[in-house]
Structure 1
């Protein structure tokens, strides 16, 4: 299983929270994602939480394409 440095991907306020709380957090909990970005993601794709963003089909498609490119 891959590990991740939560301090690098989360705002300071979220770095010490348990994973279920992080997944239920607004996308603004991610470092570099503003509250306005979160509003736009919700308007465009219905994304409200970090978990919603992870499950967004467009994110999954982009990850799959990137994986195909790195496999060549």
Structure 2
């Protein structure tokens, strides 16, 4: 099972929340993602929550390509 230090990837206001709460949070809950960037993700891809971002097919495709490159 993967582990992650939530304090390293989330804004302080979200670091003590449950994973379920974080997945329902706006993408701006992620450290380094501004409200404006979240708005742009919503406009471009319909992304409103962290879960939406995680499920975005383009993210999966990019991750698969990166893994293929790393495996060579």
Q: TM-score, normalised by structure 2?
A: 0.98
- Measured after TM superposition, the shift of residue 2 of structure 1 is 1.8
Runs of 4+ off more than 6 Å: none
Aligned to 1:6: 6
Aligned to 1:64: 64
- Measured after TM superposition, the shift of residue 61 of structure 1 is 0.4
Aligned to 1:40: 40
Aligned to 2:17: 17
CA distance in 1, matches of 2:36, 2:54: 18
RMSD: 0.5
Matched length: 72
Unaligned runs of 5+ in 2: none
